[in-house]
Amino acid sequence: MTDNKDIVTVKDKEQNWEEVLETESVVAPFVDVYETDDDFHLVANMPGVTRDDVKLKLEEGSLSILGKVNYKDLKNRKYILNENEIGNYYRKFRISNSVDETKIEARFENGQLTVRLPKHDRIKPRTIEIK
C-alpha cells in the first residue's frame, strides 16, 4: 500500500513517484555535500520544483531525493535557447553508518533542498583530558 506522500497529481491523474520516474525524463540535481564537526550537509539545487513536489526517502541505508517539475509544460515549450536539461530531479546517496538517521532534518526554499545529516556522537571529534 502506498502512503499519501508517495502520490503526486499530474493533470488530475494520480501517479506514484516510481511511475513518474519511469514515464518522464530524469536529471540529477547539482549537489554540494560538506562536513562540519557535528553534521554532514547536503544541498541540492532543483529549480522549478515547489515544496509540495519534493520528496526525501530513506530506506536501506540510502537517501533518495526526488523533485517533480511540470514536465509536460516544460517539454512542450517552443524554445529559442534551452541550456537546461528537462526532467524531474532524482538522485540517490548511500548514507554512512556514522549518520544518526533518526535526527535527519530537511528544508526546502527558493528551489534549494538542504538536508542536515547529524553525526553519531561516537564519531564526533572530542578532546581527551590528560591526567
User: Which among 88, 85, 91 is positioned nearest to 115, based on CA atoms?
Assistant: 91
The domain spans of the chain are 25-122
Average pLDDT in the 92-111 region? 93
6-33: pLDDT as tens digits: 444 343 344 577 787 788 889 999 999 9
| Helix, coil or strand: residue 54 | strand
Q: Which residues contact 90 (CB under 8 A, 6 or more apart)?
A: 21, 26, 27, 28, 64, 65, 66, 67
Query: Percentage of residues in the chain with pLDDT exceeding 90?
Result: 60
- CATH top-level class of 25-122: mainly beta
Nearest to 91 by CA among 60, 116, 58, 66: 66
pLDDT for res 15: 59
